Each structure stands twice: as structure tokens, then as C-alpha cells.
């Protein structure tokens, strides 16, 4: 099926509802270049690289295996103290990576190994946000698009990849 979301929307229902009804008791194979479609519609997602099937599993499995973790974006006030914010983040997540400090945004990659510290970190950012010059902040988990790009870039540099499977 090409462009599955476009077809599903044409049926007049939200994608999740319409597709659930259509796939009941059936196996449906969809190919797409849009990983958000794969994430939304697929019970299992398979990734191909170099013309070979490399990986297959649930979105959660693939995100855990290949995901960078979480992305945190901070919207800065003009008087933002980016250095102090970074120190606070590194205190709770020592292996955090400063991804960008451009314009009014400051973004970090927070490895999933420190997820148990996020609640305390977020509370600190919330409590000291005005003093640090934080207008707002939010965090999101790795997307399937990021998983795909990471997997493909790793397969391009690796001489051979051992396929991973989660059934």
C-alpha cells in the first residue's frame, strides 16, 4: 500500500480507528518512507538498509535498542543563563549532550539510562526557571525517524550488521 495515511484519511475516519477496523484478523504489509506512519500504523516495523532486511520489532523495541534517549528543548528568555542551566542538567544527567544553543532555544539529548532522575531535574528547572531565564521547556522520546536515521548511518559504516529481531 503506497501512502497509507492518505488512503486512510480518504475513508473519512481518523487513521487509528479506520485502520484498526480494516486490519482486524488480517496481516497487512505496508511500505513507507515516513517513519511516523510506520510508528502509528505498524504493530511491527521492519527496517531495510543496503537492500537487506536488517531489523524488525515493535516501535518500543526499536526505540529502546536504537534510540538516543530523550530530547529536551528549553526556550530561553533574553537574559538566559545557559551555562548555569547546562550545569544543572549535567548534575542530574552527567552524560547529557548539548545538542544546540541557537537563538532562543537550548536543546539537550538526555540518555535513557537517567530517566529515573528526570522528575527531579524537571522540578529543579521548573522551580528555578525564572532565575535561570527559562521561558519554557519540554522533553520527548526518540522518534522512529531518528531510529531509522541512526540505524542507516550505523549500517553505512559497519562492514556487517547482525540483524536484530523482536517478535
In the chain, the domains with their CATH numbers are 4-65+144-165 (no CATH), 68-141 (3.30.70.260)
Q: Which H or E run contains 54? A: strand 52-57
Per-residue pLDDT of 55-107, as tens digits, reads 888 888 888 888 778 999 999 999 999 999 999 999 999 999 999 999 999 99
- pLDDT over 80 at 24, yes or no: no
Per-residue pLDDT of 13-22, as tens digits, reads 555 555 566 6
Cβ pair 59, 144 in contact under 8 A: yes
Question: What does the alpha-carbon distance between residue 122 and residue 105 come to, in Å, rounded to a whole number?
Answer: 17
Q: Which of 46-50, 116-120, 150-154 has the highest mean pLDDT?
A: 116-120
Give 109-163 as a DSSP string: EE-GGGGGGHHHHHHHHHHTHHHHTEEEEEEEEPPHHHHHHHHHHHHHH-S----
pTM for the model: 0.68
Amino acid at each position: 500500500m503506497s501512502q497509507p495515511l492518505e488512503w486512510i484519511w480518504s475513508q473519512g475516519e481518523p487513521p487509528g480507528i479506520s485502520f484498526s477496523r480494516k486490519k482486524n484478523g488480517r496481516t497487512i504489509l505496508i511500505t513507507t518512507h515516513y517513519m511516523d506512519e510506520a510508528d502509528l500504523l505498524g504493530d511491527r516495523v521492519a527496517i531495510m538498509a543496503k537492500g537487506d532486511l536488517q531489523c524488525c520489532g515493535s516501535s518500543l523495541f526499536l526505540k529502546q535498542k536504537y534510540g538516543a534517549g530523550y530530547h529536551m528543548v528549553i526556550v530561553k528568555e533574553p537574559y538566559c543563563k545557559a551555562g548555569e542551566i547546562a550545569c544543572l542538567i549535567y548534575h542530574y544527567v552527567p552524560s547529557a549532550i548539548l545538542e544546540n544553543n541557537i537563538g532562543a532555544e537550548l536543546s539537550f539529548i538526555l540518555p535513557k539510562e537517567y530517566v529515573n532522575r528526570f522528575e527531579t531535574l524537571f522540578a529543579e528547572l521548573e522551580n528555578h526557571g525564572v532565575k535561570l531565564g527559562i521561558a519554557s521547556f519540554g522533553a520527548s522520546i526518540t522518534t522512529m525517524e531518528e531510529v531509522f536515521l541512526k540505524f542507516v548511518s550505523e549500517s553505512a559504516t559497519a562492514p556487517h550488521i547482525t540483524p536484530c529481531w523482536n517478535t
